[in-house]
Amino acid sequence: MDALKGFHQNVLTPKAKKLLRIITHCGIYEYLRMPFGIKNAPSHYQRMMNTIFPTELSEGWLIIYIDDIIICSDSWSLHLERLARVLHKVAEVNMKISLKKCNFGFEELKALGHIVSGLSLGIDKNKVAAVLLKPIPQNKKEMMSFLGFASYYRQHLKDFAILAKSLYRICDQQTVFEMTQERIKAYEKIRKALTEAPLLLMPDWNIPFKLYIDACGDGLGAALHQVQIIDDKPTEGPVCYISRQIKPTEARYGASQMECLCLVWALEKLHYYLDGSVFEVITDCNAVKSLLNMKTPNRHMFRWQMAIHEYRGNMTIVHKVGNIHKNSDGLSSWELANTPNNPAYVPLEAEPQIPIEGINITDIGTEFFE
């Protein structure tokens, strides 16, 4: 659901009216309701929405992003019950909802540039198509715009930081903008990765995770996977990808230290997923496997031992040789792209056409909508 001109439904306080006065040649004007474009307006509106639905948000089935309201349910009857609860709260505060922007009863929907369902998270192809139609960036501003767009979807892109390293470098103020063959190749790789980005599985907290890690001279990369039942058969797929460039001080590390650093960094970044969960770390470096049991570690290794100690009871480290360990390897590609061959495939180019049963807009009442 979408609030109808949400900001304009907020009446300003007398103090806020004075602060937002506009002086013109025709006199002084002041807003009576919260206008669009005010710096603190989004955060104020988000705080207001959180105050209206505290119980629903704490129960975890209601998601609110500013004026967008998403209700999640496991069954149709439960969905109707939750929809009624939300609409009653809406009526209590006299909020108006835009009916033409509402979608009821869908199994998947578009939200913030993604296609979201109960099973997976995909990229909205329409958003990507608009970027693919643009020519190669001709200046730093255009390149930063492209990198900002791609970075928004970086959890779908394996080794994004490594691929984009040369492109970020030419955006520095001290660097002359020049699209060399190497940079054009990196640009095309990112564009291709956006079009072939895999669907990300929604994490199932009752199933163990698999964490693939890999480090190289350009950066660190990790892929969090799970094996879930899709179409009645176990299928391994990504939950998210993370990557970053190495820092100047880290460039001096040896291969073993770099792999251990990658593990510590991945555990920190994915703490939300891995804290309290059973998971397996897959690496192509034996040093990572022996990190926990080192008798005389150096200062780096000792600090890293302490960092991963909290995961020790739930973590198992498995060593695989390089030619098998390919899920986080920068030279490999994930085989479950968003294609019809993927058991979790979702056709993103079309709006979801799912029949709505058991709900009648006239039964809800028109007092909520305009």
Lowest mean pLDDT among 57-71, 87-101, 328-342: 328-342
Q: Is the pLDDT of residue 156 over 50?
A: yes
Kind and range of the H or E element at 91? helix 76-92
Are 245 and 219 in contact by the 8 Å Cβ rule? The answer is: yes
Model pLDDT, residue 322: 60
Lowest mean pLDDT among 48-52, 112-116, 254-258: 254-258
Dihedral pair phi/psi, residue 283, rounded to 5°: -140, 160
Model pLDDT, residue 175: 86
Model pLDDT, residue 327: 57
| Residue 111 pLDDT class (50, 70, 90 cuts) | confident
Q: Are residues 232 and 132 in the same domain?
A: no
Q: Are residues 127 and 218 in the same domain?
A: no
Model pLDDT, residue 325: 52
Mean pLDDT of 343-365: 42
- Domain membership of residue 86 as a residue range: 6-105
Q: Is the pLDDT of residue 368 over 60?
A: no
Q: Is the pLDDT of residue 43 over 70?
A: yes
Q: Are residues 44 and 68 in the same domain?
A: yes
| CA neighbours closer than 13 Å in the CB half-sphere of residue 128 | 22
Nearest 10 degrees: Cα torsion 181, 187, 192, 193: 130
pLDDT in tens, 190-202: 999 998 888 899 9
Model pLDDT, residue 63: 92
Whether residue 369 lies inside any domain: the answer is no
Q: Give the number of other CB atoms < 10 A from CB of residue 215.
A: 29
Domain count, the chain: 3
Whole-model pTM?
0.75
Whether residue 362 lies inside any domain: the answer is no
CATH number, position 237 = 3.30.420.10
Whether residue 1 lies inside any domain: the answer is no
* Euclidean distance between CA atoms 292 and 277, whole angstroms: 18
The two three-digit tokens of residue 352, written as one number: 């979801």
Nearest 10 degrees: Cα torsion 15, 17, 23, 29: -140
Model pLDDT, residue 326: 52
Mean pLDDT of 94-119: 88
Q: Are residues 210 and 313 in the same domain?
A: yes
Residue that terminates a domain, selected from 139, 173, 195: 195
Q: Is the pLDDT of residue 58 over 90?
A: yes
Model pLDDT, residue 256: 82
* Euclidean distance between CA atoms 199 and 177, whole angstroms: 34
Give 159-224 as a DSSP string: THHHHTHHHHHTTSTTSPP---HHHHHHHHHHHHHHHTPPPEEPP-TTS-EEEEEEE-SSEEEEEE
The two three-digit tokens of residue 134, written as one number: 């643009």
**Between residues 309 and 328, the one the model is more confident about:** 309
Q: Are residues 219 and 255 in the same domain?
A: yes
Q: Quick one: 327 exposed, middle or buried, by C-beta within 10 A (0-12, 13-18, 19+)?
A: buried
Q: Is the pLDDT of residue 340 over 70?
A: no
DSSP state of 40: T
Residue that terminates a domain, selected from 131, 164, 195: 195
**Between residues 347 and 139, the one the model is more confident about:** 139
Residue that terminates a domain, selected from 148, 177, 195: 195
What mean pLDDT, rounded, does the chain reach? 83
| Residue 348 pLDDT class (50, 70, 90 cuts) | very low
pLDDT in tens, 241-294: 999 988 888 888 888 888 888 999 999 999 999 998 999 999 888 877 777 777
Nearest 10 degrees: Cα torsion 126, 61, 70, 73: 80
Model pLDDT, residue 233: 86
**Between residues 287 and 154, the one the model is more confident about:** 154
Q: Tell me the β-bridge partners of 151.
A: none
* Euclidean distance between CA atoms 43 and 13, whole angstroms: 16
Q: Which SS3 state, helix, strand or coil, does residue 3 take?
A: strand
